Amino acid sequence: MIKNVISKKALLYPFLMLATMWFGYLLQVNGFFDSCFGAIIPLLPEGLLGIITSPLLHGSIDHIVSNSIPIAVLMFFLYQFYPIVANKVFVIGWVATGFLLWVLPPIDVFTGNYQYTCTIGASGVVYLLAFFLFFSGVFRWNMKLLTLSLLVVLYYGSLVWGMFPEELFSSMQEPSKISWQAHLAGAVVGSVLAFSFKKSGEKKKKFIWEFPNYYSEKDDKLWQEYKENHPDDFLELPYQKREDIWDHLEDLRKKRS
């Protein structure tokens, strides 16, 4: 009987994250977070609180819905396939992504002008998780985790374009409200954590035939089973004594006489 096919944490933690995000949005709707309070404001001390709170706040119902599904799926993958390092990746990644976003200067890439920006939303965490899951499978070179990496690329591969200013791909009369800096910060932190934790958790299994010049009869299960099922094939043959010419000495004398 197979036990614990799906980890309880892989179901519980995404649910708790979604519940907290929607509770934060409910507070916003009721006026508890006015203006830029709780957002990341780059390079300004009042924006440091946003390192912790900004992923829980969203600007609209469409904004939070668009982040809820990938957060749930990617957190499930993280806690299901990387249970040993999942908490470290999530907590360290959350803080590091927010801090990196805070230190990135909010400069308009086209005009070079300084922009006062307030960044909210969990998209940075989405990028953190997606890039960690992808590169972890690559760095570990484990077939199961590589399959997970391919799934992440299949469904979230288009995220890579979000790491660049939206203005590069379309003519916009107003600056984009999408924070490519948050996406870039999450991607960088996720990639670094994937490399840092590549030796932690599940190891790649190596089979006996993957070791060069190594063979042990005791480890060869097929050979052992054959010996047990066919004992007659391994009976000792009668020993034939080696002929010695001196044993025929008397016969030779008789022939010569």
Q: What does DSSP assign to residue 59? A: S
pTM of the model: 0.74
CA distances from 158 to 82, 130, 152, 155, 162 (A): 24, 11, 10, 8, 8
CATH architecture of 8-197: Up-down Bundle (1.20)
Residue-range domain boundaries for the chain: 8-197, 208-255
Q: pLDDT (tens digit, 0 to 9) for every residue of the chain, 257 residues total?
A: 344 588 899 999 999 999 999 999 999 888 887 778 889 999 899 999 999 999 999 988 999 999 999 999 999 999 999 999 999 999 999 999 999 999 987 777 666 677 778 889 999 999 999 999 999 988 888 878 888 888 888 877 778 888 887 766 676 666 667 788 899 999 999 999 999 998 876 655 555 555 555 556 566 677 777 777 877 776 665 555 666 666 666 676 676 66
63 vs 59: CA distance, rounded Å? 6
Q: What are phi and psi of 119, to 5 degrees?
A: -105, 125
* Residue where the block lists tokens 């924070």: 179
Listed residue (187, 177, 199, 188) closest to 117, CA to CA = 177
